[in-house]
Amino acid sequence: MKNGFFSGMMVGAVTGLAADMLLRPKAKPKSTAGKAMQSITDVVDDTAQTVKRQMH
């Protein structure tokens, strides 16, 4: 059950991020805080993809 819940959370997060990117493809952070947040988001996305690949 834990794997199903975790997988669902990851799929939901990835789907939400993809939808956000489609709605605002040109959005780029302009401030230092925005750039830092984007870097953190990129790391989380990469980690989620790695976990997803390992689970399959």
Average pLDDT for 7-25 = 76
Where do we find the tokens 């956000």?
20
Residues 10, 44 contacting (CB under 8 angstroms):
no
> What share of the chain in percent tops pLDDT 90?
0
Residues 45, 14 contacting (CB under 8 angstroms):
yes
User: Pick the residue with more confidence: 39 or 22?
Assistant: 39
Q: Which two tokens stand for residue 28?
A: 């780029």
Interval 27-54: pLDDT, tens = 565 678 878 888 888 888 888 888 888 8
Average pLDDT for 12-28 = 73
pLDDT for position 1? 47
